Structure 1
Amino acid sequence: MAFSLSFFVYIAFIHPGVDLKEVPESAVAEADQAVAGEGSAPAEEKAVDVSTVTDPWMSSDAMIAHGAKVYKTNCSICHGDKGMGDGPAGMALVPKPRNFVEGKWKKSSTRIDLYTTIQKGLEGSSMAAFGHLPKADRWAMVHWIRSITKNKKDLSDKEVEEFAKSAE
């Protein structure tokens, strides 16, 4: 106890701190890349602008790549980095977060059902609504989730287009 108190006093009041001018620029750049998780991503993947996509309900490599980034930022904390329902925050949730790879769905795995779940959340679960995200980001996450799942069902592109044009 005495050691802990002494250590706290030293750190809080006596230690001179770190002079950020002493930190090498290369270390700062490496840390920024590690935090962003973009270490070796190709330049074209970094520059995807889905806001210009006119039909975000249609899957493409660019939409899937963007969906992976949006997913990592918003969903991986519960669903895990690879979508297996094993994220650190998800361990304490009841029911556990969905394992997207396994593909056992409460509704189904159509683009419309996934979009609606992302937009409105899922009643009776810890799945929060992400309707605050731009439409293109929500569609991109739908495409990424469908790219990793084993159990895909879908409607025709025309049905999805009609839904998408009227969806919030």
Structure 2
Amino acid sequence: MVFVFVFFVYIVAIHPGVDLGENLQTPPSPEQLLADAKPVDISGIKEPWVPHEDMVKHGKKVFSQNCAMCHGNEGKGDGAAGAGLNPKPRNLVEGHWTKGGGYIGIFNVISHGIPGSSMAAYGHFKTEDRWALVQFIDSITQNKVKEDPAKVAEFAKTAQ
């Protein structure tokens, strides 16, 4: 019985504990949550393929609601649903593109998916939402592909 008592005292009062290697993050403040919850009005944007801060903000919301489950909140391919997929979801931050990066390539992948992979097609999303996703993904990737704006505009006229 003495051993049990001494062991209990050791565990409770003396032992420093076990480092679980947890990456503790502070939750966002209520003000930040409210700021993120405000709708972004993109109805006045006539050319959604032209870089615009509101499109990036809207794209982040669309991404959080539809893509983060696989690609992770930061786009690093570490989402909860993605853990069970083979192949694993793309790390959009690193941006190793298989179907070409840039606005046209990303728009096509969002619209048509990648056959033989876990990337589904999202062509049923509104065109403006897909362009917003393109702009958000381009804003977080480290491997930006430069495209001719005239070529993107020409593509966008027929992109549905």
TM-score, scaled relative to structure 2: 0.77
Partner of 2:127: 135
Write the letter of the residue equivalent to 1:87.
Answer: G
Which consecutive segments of 4 or more residues in structure 1 shift more than 4 A?
none
Q: Distance in 2 between matches of 1:146 and 1:98?
A: 14
Partner of 2:11: none
Q: Distance in 1 between matches of 2:43 and 2:115?
A: 29
Aligned 1:100-139 pairs, distance under 5 A:
100-139=92-131
Q: Distance in 2 between matches of 1:109 and 1:51?
A: 26
**Displacement of 1:94 after TM fit?**
0.6
Q: By percentage of residues, which structure has more helix?
A: 1
Partner of 2:67: 75
Aligned 1:144-159 pairs, distance under 5 A:
144-159=136-151
Q: Give CA-to-partner distance per residue, 1:83-116, whole Å, 9 cap, x none.
A: 0000000001010000011111112211000000
Q: Distance in 2 between matches of 1:167 and 1:51?
A: 18
**Displacement of 1:47 after TM fit?**
3.3
Aligned 1:50-65 pairs, distance under 5 A:
50-65=42-57
For the 8 Å contact 1:70–1:141, the answer to whether it is kept is yes
Q: Give CA-to-partner distance per residue, 1:28-72, whole Å, 9 cap, x none.
A: xxxxxx9xxx72316xx8232223310000111100000000001
Q: Distance in 1 between matches of 2:149 and 2:133?
A: 17
Segments of 5+ residues of structure 2 without an aligned counterpart are: 1-29
Segments of 5+ residues of structure 1 without an aligned counterpart are: 1-33
Q: Distance in 1 between matches of 2:60 and 2:152?
A: 21
For the 8 Å contact 1:50–1:137, the answer to whether it is kept is no
The number of equivalent residue pairs is 132
